[in-house]
Amino acid sequence: MNAGDKVILNGTIYTARDKAHKLLIEIMDRKEPLPFEIKDAVIYYSGPIISASSGRMTSAGPTTSSRMDNYTIQLLDAGVSGLIGKGSRSSEVTEALKTHKAVYFSAVGGAGVVLANRIKKYRIVAFQELGLEAIYQLVVENFPCYVTIDTKGRVLSGEKQQHIRI
């Protein structure tokens, strides 16, 4: 995969936002087992919205990734292989992605309803008390993303974007 490639993800990913990241790092610092297998995991920076009446996931858009930068390197050190969010990453995270041969994907912001429709199953695996910031295990089918930082540390630039005149 190269920066700029469109990819379609199929399989299991995990959601985690700010509060969940903080708790994961605290667990790791105490050398306790994590609530899910972190090695080779893909973490999606999202706080899905679930309908109280139907139990259906109605939106699952990405949140701003840079808010997780303080936690990302330790998670990459633990074996995380992919991250999904929106927005840019720090140079330290970019270098850590390269070092660990991990990938940062971008999902389209504002497309939460469309992305939720690509989630076929979900369950909470940790921190239920955090509500929408709990960690969810998601089974996704045809989940569209773009490679924003590839395993060589190359970053998607504006030059790869297509501009159209309407």
Q: Among all residues, which ones are annotated catalytic? A: 21
User: How far apart, in whole angstroms, are the C-alpha atoms of residue 106 and residue 49?
Assistant: 19
Confirm whether 1 is domain-assigned.
Answer: no
CATH of the domain at 140: 3.20.130.10
User: How far apart, in whole angstroms, are the C-alpha atoms of residue 157 and residue 121?
Assistant: 34
Range of the domain at 136: 6-155
Confirm whether 161 is domain-assigned.
Answer: no
Confirm whether 162 is domain-assigned.
Answer: no
What pLDDT digit, counting tens, does each position of 31-85 carry? 999 999 999 999 999 989 998 898 888 899 899 999 999 999 999 999 999 999 9
Confirm whether 19 is domain-assigned.
Answer: yes
Confirm whether 144 is domain-assigned.
Answer: yes
Confirm whether 113 is domain-assigned.
Answer: yes
What is the tally of structural domains in the chain? 1
Quick check: 159 pLDDT over 90?
A: no
What pLDDT digit, counting tens, does each position of 100-111 carry? 999 999 998 888
Q: Token digits for 123?
A: 């369950």
What mean pLDDT do residues 125-142 have?
A: 95
